[in-house]
Amino acid sequence: MANEAVKKIKLQIPAGKATPAPPVGTVLGPAGINLQEFCTKYNDATRDKMGDILPVEISIYEDRSFDFIIKTPPTSFLLKKYAKINKGSVKGSSETVATLSQAQIREIAEIKLPDLNAYDVDSAIKIVEGTARNMGIAVEGMNDTEETE
C-alpha cells in the first residue's frame, strides 16, 4: 500500500468480540471504513486470545482501506488476570490486595516485552513490578524495605 495513512485510531477491544455497535462503531464510523469488515478481520485475528482485552492500532488510508496492528494486553489487565482479582487497590501501593510469584511476574514481562520500552526481560520485569506495586499487588521475594507501609 503506497498511499499514506490519513488517520490512526487506538482502541482496546475484547479479543474475538468486536461488533459494529459502540464503542467500535462510534469511533470507526465517522472514519468511513467498513465496520463489518473490520470486526470480522479483528475477530478472526484474535480468536485464540478470547477473554483478553487487546489494544489495536488502526491505520486508515485515503481510499477508506485500513490495516491494524494488535498489541499485547495491558500490563494491569494481565496482573489482575494472574492475581485473580477484579480490580487493583484503591489506596495504591499502601494496601496489598494480592501477591504474585516471581515466576508469574516473569511470565507477564515476557508477554509484554514486544510492547514495552525495554531491551531485555529483566528490564521488563522491573516495569511490571512497578505497575504491580502501584496496583497493590505484592511480589514474593521482593525486599521487605519496599513493601513496608
Domains of the chain in start order, with CATH, are 5-70 (3.30.1550.10), 75-142 (1.10.10.250)
Band (146; pLDDT cuts 50, 70, 90): very low
Which stretches within the chain are classed as H helix? Answer: 24-28, 35-46, 75-83, 102-112, 121-134, 144-147
**Which pLDDT score, from 0 to 100, does residue 142 have?**
66
- What's the rounded Cα separation, in Å, for the pair 40 and 122? 37
Upper half-sphere CA count for residue 133 (Cβ side, 13 Å): 15
- What's the rounded Cα separation, in Å, for the pair 41 and 105? 32
**Which pLDDT score, from 0 to 100, does residue 143 have?**
52
Residue 95 Cα distances to 42, 76, 88, 144, 148, angstroms = 38, 16, 9, 15, 10
Band (148; pLDDT cuts 50, 70, 90): very low
| This model's pTM is above 0.75 | no
Mean residue pLDDT across the chain: 81
Upper half-sphere CA count for residue 70 (Cβ side, 13 Å): 19
pLDDT digits (tens, 9 = 90+) for 62-102: 888 888 888 888 888 888 888 888 877 777 767 788 888 88
Short-list 77, 57, 75, 58, CA closest to 113: 75
Beta-carbon count within 10 A of 48 CB: 9
Positive or negative, the CA dihedral 21, 10, 50, 81 is negative
- What's the rounded Cα separation, in Å, for the pair 75 and 80? 9
